[in-house]
Amino acid sequence: MDRNTMHQQNEFAANLPHNAEEQHAPVNDLRSALARIANEPGQLLETGHEVDPHGQLAGVYKRIGAGGTVERPTRLGPAMIFNNIKGYPQSRVLVGLMASRKRVGMLFDAPSRRLTQRMAEAVRNAIAPVTVARENAPCQQTVHLASDPDFDLRKLIPAPTNTTSDAGPFLCLGLALASDPDTGHADVTIHRLCVQSRDELSIFFAPGRHIDAFRQKAEARGEALPVSINMGLDPAIHIGACFEAPTTPLGFDELSIAGGLRGTPVELVDCVSVAQKSIARAEIVIEGEILPNVRVVEDQNTHTGHAMPEFPGYNGPANPSLPVIKVKAVTMRHGAIMQTLVGPGEEHTNLAGIPTEASIYNAVEAAMPGFVSQVYAHTAGGGKLLAVMQVNKRNAFDDGRARQAALIALGVYSELKHVILVDEDVDPFDSDDVLWAMTTRYQGDVSSMVLPKVNGHVLDPSQTPDFNPALPARGVTCKVVFDCTAPFHLRGEFERAKFMEVDPRPWAPSLFDDKAGDDHE
């Protein structure tokens, strides 16, 4: 480790909080987010042990904190900062910042069980971003121009591979920012970005993504689409960007949700090399253009046939024809931190799932005030495919209203595949409790609503005509509502056994201190 790297790391350590007041200072970028969790026991781990970004880093974090649908063994654990990256002596890599619902709650000043409602409120109180001068944009403290003959993305940024069969190094938390060529409205989305050469990235768009619509408009004119790829951000920006239509229709700037979460606007800055803006307090920004009528094979450098691990828990297939981003510049903060995630882990569940929950909650609350108490986008569905909804039945008519709430959820979030309905005495965040309800309050032939041939998500490998010949195309699926609520007229037969209410702390004080508790407490 060279002296400059040690200085950068010591400078970062010096900025960590040393008292409760600093620890709860406002969060407006990645560094203040790290400061927020640094002194919370078990939430942040730093290591100076050398790690290879190609496979090894993800392999380490799989065993320490990835969780989610990652191949077992895995577990929930701290976020990690790797300070000694093989081949990148001046780089640091952060992984797993939001790979715990409890930690997300710390970052957003909310109990983990109230994150759905916290996000729902932010949508209703959105604050538009603002543009600041370049001298007030830390992301441009260092500028690397692609016109420099020594410029090489592959040497500049320690983009990791998650497995040995990845198509190449991926930017797993690169937030793309682009604008509609007709209206100028901006959109931000996290996309699959593979480093293809010294100055090229491939970008994968799932069907219906807004930036892809912008790209198609520009391409129809033979024009490139300016874009910035923003990495190392205030987590409010990442999670706000994961809202989708109809909650955030075309023309809605998701950065305003992050503004609503923080109560202050996200700051943008004009890029140095393209006619686009970037996140002013990002750690790293890649500036470039999506080229018109240029396509690349995603695994052209490895020929593995795979892209990378995706949220359902499987390796996504390498795409044979993806648009290309021609990089024009990379800008960085001093001592920049590269941020990544291990897919398909718990971090993806929280990034995608909490916005899913908030979208469903707002829509059902508008239609049936007070009827749904909680929505949990379960980690088994990667935050997208499976939702558990807790309903409050008060009469026999509510048996039907519960199923109507499920239909609203499916309408609000098109990628949702399965909905499980539970009563108010069942904890939607506790899988054992949900499965207990499914076992004792569900009969398959009378408690299921089956909705065949509805659009779903292309990355679920079961959503193909090969799996189900009745499906017309990949990404079309059969959706099911599992009504695991007790019929209202039989509610007395399904009353849970009641225990004495006792304060257990005198008997086991160490289990009930302020820092203890499960991830959903």
Give the angle subtended at the CA of 36 by the CAs of 30 and 40, to the nearest 5°: 130
Nearest to 456 by CA among 494, 493, 414, 424: 414
What is the predicted pLDDT for the residue at 52? 97
Assess whether pLDDT exceeds 90 at residue 394: yes
Share of the chain above pLDDT 90, in %: 87
pLDDT band at 382 (very low <50, low <70, confident <90, very high): very high
What is the predicted pLDDT for the residue at 3? 34
Read off the pLDDT of residues 450-490 as tens digits, 9 standing for 90 and up. Answer: 999 999 999 899 999 999 999 999 999 999 999 999 999 99
Q: Which long-range contacts (CB under 8 A, 24 or more apart) does 365-371 make?
A: 365/120, 367/404, 367/405, 367/408, 368/401, 368/404, 368/405, 371/398, 371/401, 371/405
Catalytic residue at 424?
A: no
Q: What does the alpha-carbon distance between residue 502 and residue 251 come to, in Å, rounded to a whole number?
A: 53
Question: Which DSSP letter does residue 447 get?
Answer: S
What is the predicted pLDDT for the residue at 20? 47
Omega prior to 226 cis, within 30 of 0: no
pLDDT band at 519 (very low <50, low <70, confident <90, very high): low
pLDDT band at 244 (very low <50, low <70, confident <90, very high): confident
Q: What distances in angstroms separate CA 85 from CA 3, 9, 57, one per listed residue?
A: 15, 13, 9
Question: Which DSSP letter does residue 112 get?
Answer: G
What is the predicted pLDDT for the residue at 8? 42
Q: Which domains does the chain have, with CATH numbers?
A: 348-494 (3.40.1670.10)
Name, in order, each residue with C-beta under 8 angstroms of 492's C-beta and a sequence gap of 6 or more: none
Q: What is the mean pLDDT of the chain?
A: 93
Q: Output the pTM of the full model.
A: 0.90
Assess whether pLDDT exceeds 90 at residue 312: no
What is the predicted pLDDT for the residue at 113? 94
Contact indicator for 320, 298 with CB cutoff of 8 Å: yes
What is the predicted pLDDT for the residue at 520? 55
Give the angle subtended at the CA of 245 by the CAs of 240 and 247, to the nearest 5°: 65
pLDDT band at 169 (very low <50, low <70, confident <90, very high): very high
What is the predicted pLDDT for the residue at 517? 45
What is the predicted pLDDT for the residue at 23? 56
Looking at residues 107-117, what average pLDDT do you find?
A: 96
Answer with the residue of higher pLDDT: 248 or 12.
248
Assess whether pLDDT exceeds 70 at residue 500: yes
**Beta-bridge partners for 337:** 92
Which residue of the set 283, 310, 346, 415 is catalytic? 310
pLDDT band at 14 (very low <50, low <70, confident <90, very high): very low
Q: Using alpha carbons only, how large is the chain's radius of gyration in Å?
A: 23
The count of C-alpha atoms lying within 13 angstroms of the C-alpha of 79, restricted to the half-sphere facing its C-beta, is 31
Assess whether pLDDT exceeds 60 at residue 503: yes
Assess whether pLDDT exceeds 90 at residue 173: yes
Read off the pLDDT of residues 113-168 as tens digits, 9 standing for 90 and up. Answer: 999 999 999 999 999 999 999 999 999 999 999 999 999 999 999 999 999 999 99
What is the predicted pLDDT for the residue at 39? 87
What is the predicted pLDDT for the residue at 422? 98
Read off the pLDDT of residues 324-361 as tens digits, 9 standing for 90 and up. Answer: 999 999 999 999 999 999 978 999 999 999 999 999 99
Assess whether pLDDT exceeds 80 at residue 5: no
pLDDT band at 7 (very low <50, low <70, confident <90, very high): very low
